[in-house]
Amino acid sequence: MIGRLNHVAIAVPDLGAAIAQYRDALGANVGDPQDEPDHGVTVVFIELPNTKIELLYPLGEGSPIAAFLEKNPSGGMHHVCYEVDDIIAARDRLKDSGARVLGDGEPKIGAHGKPVLFLHPKDFQGTLVELEQV
């Protein structure tokens, strides 16, 4: 069921500084910021040869990233994203195994324009997991 690692998401308190650090200090290929109002975030993708890094910055007062940064003011790893071929089949299999899907359990369209779901971190060793249909 689980496919390749699509990205590792890092919440950042200063998006401009994070972009500069990855671009200038690490020499990474950094994309443009993109607002995702349905998810309450601004995202920037950093392309690596084998995966991506997603920088997350709060968009609006109710952003889940704002709450994360209140607890982690320096930022930090927010979630990992794995690819799946069929997100509905993956969701149903996970729910049958006792895993909790966050929200209403229905996929939303993510930053790549593909359906995504998030799984409760308490069911995955303290790690928030995103599934993205490829």
Q: How many residues does the chain have?
A: 134
- Burial readout 8-21 (b: 16 or more C-beta within 10 A, e: otherwise): bbbbbbebeebbee
* Right CATH for 5-133 from 1.10.150.120, 3.30.70.2860, 3.10.180.10, 2.40.10.10: 3.10.180.10
Tokens of 37: 């109002």
**Predicted local distance difference test score (pLDDT) of residue 1:** 87
Q: Where are the domains of the chain?
A: 5-133
CB atoms within 10 A of CB 33: 15
The DSSP bridge pattern shows strands 76-84 and 128-133 to be parallel
Q: Is 130 a catalytic residue?
A: yes
**Predicted local distance difference test score (pLDDT) of residue 46:** 98
Taking the chain (134 residues) in runs of 10, the rounded mean pLDDT of each run is 96 98 97 95 97 97 93 98 98 97 96 96 97 97
Tokens of 66: 């704002």
Instruction: Compute the C-alpha angle 19/20/26, nearest 5°.
Output: 95
Tokens of 86: 């069929």
> In angstroms, rounded to a whole number, what is the distance separating the alpha carbons of residues 97 and 104?
18
Q: What is the CA radius of gyration of the chain?
A: 15
Catalytic residue among 54, 83, 130, 132: 130
